Amino acid sequence: MDVGTFDTQIPVLGEAKITSPIRKIKKRTFGFVSDDERVPVDSDLHKLRERFAKNMEIPSFERAGPREKIYFDTSKLRCALVTCGGLCPGLNDIIRAIVLELNHSYRVRNIYGIRHGLEGFIPEFGRDVVDLNPDVVVNIHEMGGTILGSSRGPQDIEEIVDSLERMNIGILFMIGGDGTLLAASKITDAILERNLKISVVAIPKTIDNDIHMVSRSFGFHTAVEIATEAIKAAHNEAQGYPYGIGLIKLMGRYAGFIAATAALARQDVNFVLIPEVDFDLKGENGFLQALEDRILERGHAVIVVAEGAGQKFFEGREDEYDPSGNIRLKDIGLFLKDSVMGWFSEKDIDITLKYIDPSYMIRSLPANASDRVYCGFLGRNAVHAGMAGKTRLLIGRWNEQFVHVPMSASTGRRKKVDYDGRLWLSVMDVTGQGAMKNSPEAKS
């Protein structure tokens, strides 16, 4: 991943002067983290040695974790949580981890859940506020979705800050994707302009695992696990018929991490199509010809396509947008299904094609064990950061450590599968697929 150059400094609301209640409540005198503990942004040892030898600064993130001194008086503190955007396995686990850590480690009693995303801050929507405590969240990790509900679309930033001010909120925890991170940054700007002492801490959410400067986002492992079951079903269907084809569409608007990783997990896949890697449909070296060659040689095939792949085939069609301003992707899954059936019909080759789209089922499921553990770390570290008075940051994992990432480092940028990287080269090896690109003069 190209880490680029950016400021890794995390803003604070003021000096942290209050001794953390963790010392007394949990009788802990160890495990606290200093702001001086850093995690290098670049993991390349050669580059690090080179910079060190030249007396150059080594960019690094603050390590996440509890601080010995905190900023907020926990007896008076009020916190709010909000979940935004699409559903993702682990949302309830994050909510649960934040509430339990606030309550049990810091004795914070006033914790409010904002209903249905940023709409919940806007009076005209009339959304109720949920009082969150351990009894409310004790079993929510066993449920999919989010107990707070969600919504898409921008809301008036000034009205949101008005609401925070009226509620006397000290820490706002925002759980969401790229649009939420952008909103969180704008909310922080408005808070600063009003000279308010409100910490804004984000927990990045995207099932696609494409948030820049975050090595792994929660829900991704669950998505891959369930996607492999869909691949298994498609493979069984394909093998069950003469010239059988299984076609699975998976999540991945701009990045093919789920498709690529699931294909490696099952190794029953013959073609993986992702947004980062261009391919042609027809022509001597196009996808359909490669599929025909596979079918005639082996008698069956399995195809995995990420939802954002092949959007060039819809050029000329009018764009549509969702409430958040994102372009609604054209359905590459159904397009490929029709294209494959038409291709083989013209060749008078009788195929059986089974199409599977498990996307929304995956998004709404509870997290698996791996993601549950991961969500716990994210939620607890978000609480520690907020209690220390840190703001304008998100909690991420980098070089095997949980860290504080400035919002500016991730907002508006996406992580993508590297065409020359280990992940995609492994996919090419396992599937045996070629580039599936024609020369410029060939028909595409």
d(CA 108, CA 263): 45
- Contact between 427 and 263 under an 8 Å Cβ cutoff? The reply is yes
350: annotated active-site residue? no
- Contact between 142 and 366 under an 8 Å Cβ cutoff? The reply is yes
Catalytic residue among 93, 208, 268, 280: 208
- Would you list the DSSP string of 238-297? HHTSTTEEEEEEE--SS--HHHHHHHHHH---SEEE-TTS---SSSTTSHHHHHHHHHHH
- Would you list the DSSP string of 4-23? -----PPPBSS---EEPTHH
Sign of CA dihedral 221, 226, 227, 232: positive
- Contact between 428 and 435 under an 8 Å Cβ cutoff? The reply is no
d(CA 356, CA 305): 11
Q: Which of 156, 162, 168 is nearest to 194 (CA)?
A: 162
Give catalytic residue positions. Answer: 208
